Structure 1
Amino acid sequence: MKKLVYTLLFSLLVIVSGDKVQAAGFKDVPEDHFAYDAILWAEEYDIVNGYSDGTFKPNETITEQQFAKLLSNFYELEIPYDELKKQTPTANWSDEYYNRLASYGVPLNGYLDNNIRAASIKRGVVAQAITHLAKGKSGLDQSIQFLLDYYISTGQNPQYENRNLQKFFGVTNKLTRAQVVIILHRMDERNFYEISQDAQAIYENTSNASLNVRAKNGQNQLDPTMRLTTPTKSAWEGTYFYSYKWGKGATDFNRREAIISNATSNSFNIFITANDGTAAGSVDGTATITTSNKAVMNKSSAGNRCVIEFERLTNALKITEVDCQAAHDEDTNFSGTLKKQ
């Protein structure tokens, strides 16, 4: 983050109203608020903004999507070319932030579900997400210890100190908006604003994994006790992926991905992409379920002839393209067995 002389920052951002001093733009953050300095800093660097009524609501519990915005802004994460294909397809204001975080493989729960995004985030998830970007891929205990070692965050239950790290930290507890801003402010003060090599490597994406796959890998990095998942409507639903790299060249790879959503007892929506070196193709449509583990699609959503057969295996999906040349680029097809992510 860019550094400025703090006295200049203070003079530019403080508003005096009568005898009450408040953070610029936030009428509910007085000078004596415990997070005043941190919120002042975060506002200056466009990490946070308030509500339309001029408040910041510092003591309000923070949701995962609010945290996603703050974390993306703090690290100034790049915007990827791809976009997530969500299970809840309705556009959401947080989409751009989750797209950014997914491209770096950040451990979060709400990538594919707007409802999970709107839920309060747990301290354990915050610890893993921050540590992933600041230090690299880390388990829950490693992430907590990182925050404690650098006094970025503290424990909440002293009776468990040196006895149970997770209970001491309070991994299942929630945070307020002010508490998260303080954590990010301390990250900045300790110069933890450079992106870790692990996260950068995921962004560079030499394996050509899609954004959904990188998001799913981020979810899987979360400790099992921290995961929230959308109840599966059907055994068909999910993201399926295959990747093979046979050489060191940038185009020496094969990749297949299939995303099944909106499954019923009779059909499901399917979106498939394929890359074979320099050739790439994609198609989406609706498949009809013919037996408990087989389905077929006859045309794409664009109305082109596209006959593809699907077989659901144990944690995998077998795709056989019968005739779909009118729906995708030449030199690619969608055949293969993909592993469920």
Structure 2
Amino acid sequence: MRKLAIATIALCSIVLLLTTPKIQASGFTDIPATYWAYDDIQFLSSYEIINGYDNGKFQPGAVITRKDAAVMMTRALELTEPSTDTESEISFTDMTPSSPGYNEVLISMTNGWFTLTDGAFKPDQPLTRDEMAKALAIAFSYKGKEHSDFTDVSKYDPYYPFIDAIAHYKVTTGYKDNTFRPAEQVTRAQFSAFLSRVFQQPASYEVRSQGQIVGNSPSFGSALHMATEYPQSTIHPASTKYREFSDKIATKDRTNLKSGVLIYNGVNEKNTFTKEFFDHYTNYKTPDGQMKDFFNTFIILGLRYNGGWLSEHTNNHADYMDWQSYIDRTFAENGALQQLNASAQSQNKKADVYIAIPYPKREEPILKLNDEVVENNLESRMEMVNWYLSEVSKEWRNHDLDHLNFKGYYWLNETVRVHEDELLLSAVSERIHKDGDFFIYAPHATSTNFRKWRSYGFDAAFLQPNAFRASVENKEERLHRAFLYAQMYGTGITIEINSYSINQAEDGIEAFNLYMDYAKRYGLDEKGMTFYQGINMVERMATYNHPVFRQWHKQLTDTFFAK
């Protein structure tokens, strides 16, 4: 079989036409902007990779046949002749040279993408998910690491290596119940989603050492291996014909947030605040005694209410009353906002503020303040968020917070798991932007639908590497991957550390050193950093008389604030 120099060729030279006229995704009468695969169809159709029908429809639920897949794959790879590397001549019992798509089917078979059944190709039979996995894995040179564990795909299944490969490359994540459903037929919408994920991957991965290019690898894994051999190495995505990647982070940030800190003010997090507490965040003293500006952006968020969690959690039963309690807590005299304002006022400066929006529960009826019980659905959840936004805005106007700039809202949840939440976020962002405010987000390292953050209406996102805990292995891999994604999707990065006690300080040294190191390597000191500090780690760095804490404080200030 001919060895295809395919991964890069495919991504850089695709012309894939499914049907007749050129109709953009936004014009398909059966693909509204709220459709789950809208972004994928929009991406592919914008490059005429996939088109609709003469009647203006896309027909997302129509199945892809094996012949359709063969035709599309050969056109994608610009292959016009069968491979000459096959050991025996291939013929079909159910197709002749005059059959539609015969040449493309023959090319696909000589390259090993599909299998025959008793000599038959079965061109009009629907393509199944396991067959698609095999075709994509072979065509794009994907190889897995046997890490996938779908409950309905045994490692002894002949299709497992291909399914594992496309799972490894994030072409698929399977279904929410951890199944892959290999025998399920592939629809046009599903195929668009798969192709979109393939085409939006970098053509290759460039490795640099201290800014100088030292190599180029076809996969992140091989680039990571190369990076370990060079000091101060960084990994950067190579652009394709269809996607231009930056080699810098936070390029899609519309807020211009340079350095923000997360202040947790929920129940059993930090209950009360003082001006002196915030003084350790608004300014710092250099070794020679100078006072300099510290964090200028404060993200106020509470994870817990009195009885459960305010994030997406099985113990989130929060109703209007619980959200009202959080608002009261935030604006209280000894709450975060008034004491932050006092600190900023004492230094004659202004601090930017974002306030978190709790996650509206999804599984049970919602109790309003007037004791009315309403059904839990998209409309009632949006009504709850609208009420919250109005109340926060009203409270802000009613308090004297002249030394704070209200910038907008922070979405408390760290992932987007269900389609209803996609619709909810789009509506929430529209309301926030109508009020002239920003909307930001900090997805965790394995967040679902992370790449779609801009389509939900967020103005900035700050990806969490989740590499800070002592028990986490492969910290450097996690950091390289996070900074790579930050370049690919235009996000910032969340720097992370726990609230260590003096006795625990040694456990955090390795991770904090790495975070500071990678921040400098990738230019995070220029823009796009938010700081997760547990509950009060910055205060501890500034006040604890311990060499590790003093060193962390110096590293933090030297890396992000010395300029």
Name the TM-score, length of structure 2 as normaliser. 0.27
Instruction: Determine which structure has the larger helix proportion and give its number.
Output: 2
Structure with higher Rg: it is 2
Name the TM-score, length of structure 1 as normaliser. 0.42
Instruction: Determine which structure has the larger strand proportion and give its number.
Output: 1
